[in-house]
Chains A and B, each alone.
Chain A
């Protein structure tokens, strides 16, 4: 069946621009996670949803980061007024019974 999909795969933004990254989880997966992965590092937790409820957003690095999942399926990660340090790969994962499946990621480059 279809896996987790993310769009766009690549995004170049000028410093100060807002960006929106989309995640389509595996159908029926209740849990959805967003991660940030810097070059050469493992994924770092940003936020977690169970259905439409954002249960943990402790990993969001600043109030410029905002995530939503209004209908409990598709999720959007929004970054306002992007900064160069926001450049990274943003990974989305959906989860069932402890097994977490990742999308291909969105590589964000802020110039």
Chain B
């Protein structure tokens, strides 16, 4: 089945700098790649996604890049703010429906 690897378990950046979280996947048939955010003590909520028919998507300060050849996708958070501190999970579809998640990246925004 699909395996999703999230390369950084912890990432620390200064407030205002950019943060990049990288993920790789194994199933060439995967076509949907969402990202979720989990703040301390809270559940996951959706932040942004990208589908395999495009290689870049931006929503305000969030940019997702997809490299299908390398089976790699990444989340870029620009101009980081304290409220960006959280655990970020990448995911990929397995088959048509279910999502397989990475292990998560703890993003720390330093003042």
Instruction: Please say whether chains A and B are actual partners in one complex.
Output: no
